[in-house]
């Protein structure tokens, strides 16, 4: 549990964050995205991608039925094929937590709920804290909170920090993922600052995006955030997880994030405890790629369950 920093400490922490070489980050992410992962390594990576996946539905039109279908897919992504693992978690809006509890209890799949006035984060702190507490009470064991970008961009780091600390406290035993919404932060320096700020405030995971803003996750942003994690771990010894979310739709993209994770944070992060891929339409493409590797024939979406 992080202890609240005083204003002067926070100031020196933020001043100590070095700036990011933007051209270098883009180049490195692009070169890592070119890695060729084939055959058995590809199958291993795709299996890991499923195990690290947060199967997500965050729509105003989500119903208990839709969530039930998603939970079934989360437990057994390919009915009739027991070699395909379950996903790491299902990720829903607070009102749908109860539906998830009903369907994934006892399967080991985590229930993640977005909270704190998702996706904008523009609400009162006490409401955000209360929402988090309600989510945990309803059965969520992972909370995906958004930071107040308005405060962050206007330089009010203390407010952002205090809010994360308060939400973390409200989480209790639930894991806290802090969404930075990098598409709204403007540049890589701000992304790195927000990453360090969130980790110092006690985040268990830092997450790229809500998926509601373009651009969402990009390989370069992921690299910048992971380098922040690497430096933070070196400094404090506390491992922090990474979640990429938003716009990850193909197996190829998923593998790119796995490569960047491996090259930046190392093999210790190649586990659902420290790496997540948030996605609503990625799973079927991964399943199709696995089937293609196994059968040697290109696949059709017609032969996979709807997600």
Partner 1 sequence: MDVRKTYKLFVNGEFVRSESGRAYRPNGGGVNVPRGSRKDLRDAVRAARTAFGAWAGRTAMNRGQILYRAAEMLDGRSAQFVELLGGGVRARRELDQSVETIVWYAGWTDKLPQVTGTVNPVAGPYFNFTIPEPTGVVGVVAPEDSPLLGLVRRIAPALCGGNVVVALASETRPLPALTLAEVLATSDVPAGVVNIISGQRKELVPWLASHMDVNAIDVAGCTDQEIKAVEESAASNVKRVIKIREEEMSPYLIAAFMEMKTVWHPIGV
Query: What positions carry a catalytic annotation?
Result: 144, 207, 243
Q: Is 301 in the site for partner 1 (CB under 8 A)?
A: yes
Smallest gap from Cβ 288 to partner 1, in A, equals 9
CA atoms within 13 A on the CB side of 53: 37
Is 303 a residue that touches partner 1 (CB under 8 A)?
yes
**Of 299 and 305, which has the nearer Cβ to partner 1?**
299
Q: Which of 145, 132, 50, 142 is nearest to 100 (CA)?
A: 142
**Is the Cβ of residue 106 or residue 296 nearer to partner 1 in the bound state?**
296
User: For residues 10 and 81, what is the distance between their CA atoms, to the nearest angstrom?
Assistant: 51
CB of 237 to partner 1, least distance (A): 45
Nearer CB in complex with partner 1: 182/253: 253
- Indicate whether 306 belongs to the interface with partner 1 (CB under 8 A): no
Q: Measured from the CB of residue 282, what is the shortest distance to partner 1 in angstroms?
A: 16
Write down how long the chain is.
307
Residue where the block lists tokens 């960047």: 260
Rounded to a whole number of angstroms, the distance between the first and last alpha carbons of the chain is: 37
Strands (E), the chain: 53-56, 89-92, 110-115, 142-146, 175-179, 205-207, 241-245, 275-279
Which CB atom, from 3 or from 295, has the smaller least distance to partner 1? 295
| Local structure of 27: helix, strand or coil | helix
User: Tokens in use for 110?
Assistant: 């985590």
Binding mask 281-300 for partner 1 (x = CB under 8 A): ---------------xxxxx
- Per-residue contact string for residues 246-285; x = within reach of partner 1 by CB under 8 A: ----------------------------------------
Which of 159/252 has CB closer to partner 1? 252
Cβ-Cβ contacts under 8 Å for 96 (sequence gap 6 or more): 57, 62, 64, 67, 113
Smallest gap from Cβ 77 to partner 1, in A, equals 18
Smallest distance from partner 1 to CB 298, Å: 4
Which residues form the interface with partner 1 (CB under 8 A)?
296-303
């Amino acid at each position: 549990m992080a202890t609240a920093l005083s204003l002067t400490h926070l100031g020196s922490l933020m001043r100590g964050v070095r700036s990011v070489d933007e051209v270098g980050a883009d180049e490195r992410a692009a070169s890592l995205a070119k890695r060729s992962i084939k055959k058995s390594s590809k199958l291993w990576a795709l299996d890991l991608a499923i195990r690290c996946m947060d199967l997500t539905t965050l729509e105003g039109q989500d119903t208990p039925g839709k969530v039930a279908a998603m939970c079934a897919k989360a437990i057994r992504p390919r009915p009739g094929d027991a070699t395909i693992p379950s996903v790491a978690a299902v990720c829903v809006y607070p009102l749908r937590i109860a539906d998830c509890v009903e369907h994934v209890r006892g399967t080991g799949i985590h229930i993640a709920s977005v909270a704190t006035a998702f996706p904008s984060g523009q609400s009162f702190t006490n409401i955000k804290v209360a929402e988090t507490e309600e989510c945990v009470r309803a059965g969520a064991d992972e909370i995906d909170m958004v930071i107040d970008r308005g405060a962050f961009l206007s330089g009010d780091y203390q407010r952002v920090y205090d809010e994360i600390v308060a939400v973390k406290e409200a989480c209790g035993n639930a894991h806290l993922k802090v969404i930075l919404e990098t598409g709204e932060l403007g540049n890589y320096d701000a992304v790195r600052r927000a990453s360090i700020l969130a980790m110092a405030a006690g985040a268990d995971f830092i997450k790229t995006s809500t998926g509601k803003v373009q651009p969402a996750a990009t390989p370069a942003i992921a690299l910048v955030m992971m380098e922040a994690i690497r430096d933070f771990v070196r400094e404090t010894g506390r491992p922090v997880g990474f979640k990429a979310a938003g716009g990850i739709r193909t197996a190829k993209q998923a593998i790119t994030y796995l490569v960047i994770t491996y090259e930046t944070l190392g093999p210790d992060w190649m586990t659902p405890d420290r790496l997540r891929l948030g996605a609503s339409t990625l799973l079927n493409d991964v399943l199709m790629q696995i089937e293609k590797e196994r059968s040697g024939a290109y696949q059709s979406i017609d032969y996979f369950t709807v997600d």
